[in-house]
Amino acid sequence: MDFAVVEGYKESEIPKVVLGDVPDLLNVVAALPENSDWNIDELVELTRTQPDRMTLELLVKKVQKNPTIRKAGAIGTFTGIVREYTDGLQTQVLEFEKYEKVAEESIERICTELKQNDGIMDVVIHHKIGRVEPGEDIVYIVVASSHRTQLFPVLSEAIERVKHEVPIWKKEITVDGEFWVHDHA
């Protein structure tokens, strides 16, 4: 299945295409009048251009479907979240931007290289882009390994490499102003 029409989730921040008159929805990417001649090709293209919605659960399931999982004895995860207070400064929201093609290639390279470690079956990484509020998830890393002693060093190396090698930039918007994190001392 490529697409599904789902009724509900009106309060969620999932991007929505609204067919007909439905007031007060969050994150509407298109609203089309009821009973009109909708251009289905345009709707499909609009849907295809929306970013994927990724969850930690989906990534774990992806790793569990890897044929090499039968050799694994452990799956470990890392979830980075937005911290609301840092050194007494209150964060209202973080905004992430990435150099699209290079960022994806960097993440893929990190995963491929980490899978070369002894006993590592799989590594998957997903980093959110856009606005992320305090308490919300930013980055997911899932590692499958033969033993837990092989897992934890790779999980730690993965997040450090993402932070240093992947062209993703973070703007922090606080109660006192905003700044790009790499520019702030």
Among the ranges given (22-26, 143-147, 163-167), the one the predictor scored with the smallest mean pLDDT: 22-26
The string of pLDDT tens digits covering residues 102-155 is: 999 999 999 999 999 999 999 999 999 999 999 999 999 999 999 999 999 999
Query: What domain range is 11 assigned to?
Result: 1-50
Residue position matching structure tokens 């999982």: 69
Kindly state whether residues 44 and 70 are assigned to the same domain.
no
Other Cβ atoms within 10 Å of 143 Cβ, number: 30
Same domain, yes or no, for 69 and 38? no
Domain tally for the chain?
2
Q: How far is CA 77 from CA 46, 80, 162, in A?
A: 32, 10, 15
Give percent above pLDDT 90 in the chain. 62
Give yes or no: residues 43 and 22 share one domain: yes
DSSP code at position 169:
E
Q: How far is CA 61 from the centre of its chain?
A: 15
Q: What is the CATH number of the domain that holds 177?
A: 3.90.1170.40
Let me know whether 16 and 65 are in one domain.
no
- For residue 172, give the nearest of 98, 92, 88, 97 by alpha carbon: 92
Counting runs of H as helices and runs of E as strands, what totals does the chain give?
4, 10
Rounded to the nearest integer, the mean pLDDT of the chain is 88
Bridge partners of 85, per DSSP, are: 90
Give me the pLDDT at residue 183, please. Answer: 54
Question: Do 85 and 39 fall within a single domain?
Answer: no
Judge whether residue 1 has pLDDT over 60: no
Same domain? 33 vs 79? no
Residues 44 and 77 in one domain: no
Asked whether 168 and 127 are in contact (CB, 8 A), the reply is yes
Distance from C-alpha of 176 to C-alpha of 171, rounded to nearest angstrom: 13
Three-state DSSP at 157 gives: helix
Percent of the chain with pLDDT over 70: 91
Q: Are strands 130-132 and 74-81 parallel, antiparallel or unpaired?
A: unpaired
